[in-house]
Amino acid sequence: ETGVTQSPTHLIKTRGQQVTLRCSSQSGHNTVSWYQQALGQGPQFIFQYYREEENGRGNFPPRFSGLQFPNYSSELNVNALELDDSALYLCASSLDRANEQFFGPGTRLTVL
Amino acid sequence: GENVEQHPSTLSVQEGDSAVIKCTYSDSASNYFPWYKQELGKRPQLIIDIRSNVGEKKDQRIAVTLNKTAKHFSLHITETQPEDSAVYFCAAEFGNEKLTFGTGTRLTIIP
């Protein structure tokens, strides 16, 4: 069984740039959720993808977008980066939107 | 709104003693409550979870209790060990399998 993986591990961008983060779900899982974790805080839900469709969204602006591919891997795209977007971005995979979510190692994004 | 409050924010416990972390949630419709452990620089790891049709669940030294009427749930760690030192997050599911997390408890086990 393959666990959840994310790439890249670290990323440094400047304000106004765009970024794409990638997530490969655990083997057999068809649901991916994305979270933003600021330093010292709990993860905050961005959105969830189930079978290539968005299945719920948190309180994040439209410049946060995503997609899920037929192999259930997923991307998170952030446009017009702001300093406050600096955070650890986590994806979590689950089976059939089941509650048990397993996290990847995260991508540390720094916006300068 | 959807909210999860977690207390305490920091907790220091002598090795071998018990640790208790408490959370309250706002939506009575929530029916899934996981707990995650996050070590420094690592991913959150699911350590135990409970669903609303159960009042208590135990897994070796870890137990979770749920009081749906009062809308609170707690994590209990017994016989604490140095490797239990980490940040612990509670969470509640608020529809659409969306998890809302608490603000975390930094647990330190004193040898």
Q: What digits encode the pLDDT tens for the residues A7-38?
A: 999 999 999 999 999 999 998 899 999 999 99
Across A39-46, average pLDDT:
93
Across A73-95, average pLDDT:
96
Which amino acid type is present at position B73? Answer: F
What contacts B19, CB < 8 A, 6 or more positions away? B11, B13, B75, B76, B77, B80, B84, B107, B109
Which amino acid type is present at position B6? Answer: Q
Report pLDDT for B54. 83
Please name the residue of chain A whose CA is at the shortest distance from the CA of residue B101: A42
Band of the pLDDT at B64, cuts 50, 70, 90? very high
Alpha-carbon dihedral angle through residues A109, A52, B91, A11, given to the nearest 10 degrees: -10
Across B6-16, average pLDDT:
97
Helix and strand numbers, DSSP H then E, in chain A:
0, 11
Q: Which of A42, A97, A104 sits opposite B89 (nearest CB)?
A: A42
Query: Are residues B45 and A103, on separate chains, in Cβ contact within 8 Å?
Result: yes
Question: Is residue B89 less than 8 Å (CB to CB) from chain A?
Answer: yes
Residue bearing tokens 């779900």: A25
Q: Distance of CA A62 to CAs A47, B20, B33, B100, Å?
A: 11, 39, 29, 20
Band of the pLDDT at B95, cuts 50, 70, 90? confident
| Cβ–Cβ < 8 Å for B76, B64 | yes
Instruction: Give percent of chain A above pLDDT 70.
Output: 97
Contact residues on chain A for B43, CB-CB shorter than 8 A = 4, 90, 103-106
